[in-house]
């Protein structure tokens, strides 16, 4: 069946009103486009678990900092549309920034604490931008469930906290990281890597696997695991560590002792490209 393309909030509302009238359950997959198999896994799960699925494709300007890659962020809406259609989603929302943000747009959703470490500390305002657009998408879609990848683990924790705090009527479904054959986590930003950088980028997963093995074998010191991960990454000449952190998986506060569910998250520059990856260890 052909997917419906909507361009404005008003068009989305019209489709949703019809779905609601028919009593359909609705799944939402928020994306910034340039879709890969990671996004594909979210869409597939949403199609399995809901009567109707809306996918948003929107490079959200308010979650990019002034020196970040908003202008160069990869875009290919035709390819995205083909993939979304082939996976059986029902509606794609692809607005212009001006359709999402009026010139006097004045509201920001800000989640304290959980959004302040890791990427939040390096990308000021990033999670405010994410939470604001995600709230708009939740409101527009009236979805029962929304699907987020674990690669952006802090984003998942922040969105979960926001939904809990605001009693939003939506279930957040976290989905596993999808990797290339050599272990690199799929990301739209992998396209920035030269072939030499692409090879070097495998160091992120290699380092995380070594760290995860230590934790699985019973290592309790976060510092010991962190140092091992840093050591492996620092041996790759094209890699520059932005952060290696071990935090509580719920609060995203750093921990000294690995006890309870933890997030081990890393951000590494490979050349000029900043890549993130992580593992979660749940007891
Ligand atoms: O993860 C992303 O691609 C974005 O942060 C999201 C959730 C689509 C909001 O713009």
Q: Across-strand partners of 27?
A: 53, 145
pTM over 0.95: yes
Neighbouring CB atoms inside 10 A of 67's CB total 6
Task: Return the pLDDT at 283.
Answer: 80
CA dihedral (69, 115, 147, 160) in degrees, to 10, reads: -170
**Gap from CA of 158 to ligand 1 centroid (Å):** 12
Mutate to test the pocket of ligand 1, among 28, 29, 31, 172 (most ligand atoms within 8 A of CB): 31
Residues 116-133 as b/e (b if ≥16 CB within 10 A, e otherwise) read ebbbbeebebbbbbbbbb
Residues 171-206 as b/e (b if ≥16 CB within 10 A, e otherwise) read ebbbbebbbbeeebbbbbbbebbeeebbebbbbbbb
**Gap from CA of 248 to ligand 1 centroid (Å):** 22
Mutate to test the pocket of ligand 1, among 34, 123, 133 (most ligand atoms within 8 A of CB): 133
Q: Across-strand partners of 221?
A: 257
pLDDT lower than 70: segments of the chain: none
71's enclosing H/E stretch is none
**Gap from CA of 264 to ligand 1 centroid (Å):** 21
Catalytic residue status for 36: no
Task: Return the pLDDT at 86.
Answer: 98
Task: Return the pLDDT at 131.
Answer: 99
Pocket of ligand 1 (CB under 6 A): 30-32, 60, 63, 130, 133-134, 152, 155
Report the distance separating Cα 117 and Cα 247, nearest Å.
Answer: 9
Residue with CA at minimum distance from ligand 1 atom 5: 130
Among 242, 203, 64, 33, which residue's Cα sits nearest to residue 193? 203
- Per residue in 4-55, pLDDT (tens digit) is 999 999 999 999 999 999 999 999 999 999 999 999 999 999 999 999 999 9
């Amino acid at each position: 069946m052909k997917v419906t393309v909507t361009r404005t909030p008003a068009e989305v509302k019209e489709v949703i009103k019809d779905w609601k009238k028919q009593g359909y359950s609705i799944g939402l997959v928020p994306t910034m486009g340039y879709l890969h198999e990671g996004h594909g896994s979210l869409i597939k799960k949403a199609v399995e678990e809901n009567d109707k699925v809306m996918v948003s494709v929107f490079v959200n300007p308010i979650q990019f900092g002034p020196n970040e890659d908003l202008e160069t962020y990869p875009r290919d809406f035709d390819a995205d549309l083909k993939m979304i259609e082939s996976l059986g989603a029902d509606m794609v929302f692809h607005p212009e920034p001006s359709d999402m943000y009026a010139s006097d747009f004045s509201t920001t959703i800000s989640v304290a604490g959980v959004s302040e470490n890791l990427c939040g500390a390096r990308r000021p305002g990033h999670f405010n931008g994410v939470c604001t657009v995600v709230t708009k998408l939740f409101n527009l879609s009236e979805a029962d469930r929304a699907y987020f990848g674990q690669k952006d683990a802090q984003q998942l924790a922040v969105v979960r906290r926001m939904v809990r705090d605001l009693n939003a009527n939506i279930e957040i479904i976290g989905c596993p990281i999808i990797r290339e054959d050599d272990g690199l986590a799929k990301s739209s930003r992998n396209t920035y890597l030269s072939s030499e950088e692409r090879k070097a980028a495998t160091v992120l997963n290699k380092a995380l696997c070594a760290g995860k093995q230590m934790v699985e074998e019973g290592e309790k010191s976060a510092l010991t695991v962190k140092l091992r991960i840093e050591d492996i990454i620092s041996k790759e000449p094209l890699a520059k560590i932005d952060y290696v952190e071990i935090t509580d998986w719920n609060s995203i506060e750093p921990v000294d002792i690995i006890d309870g569910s933890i997030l081990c998250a890393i951000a590494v520059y490979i050349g000029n490209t900043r890549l993130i990856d992580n593992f979660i260890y749940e007891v």
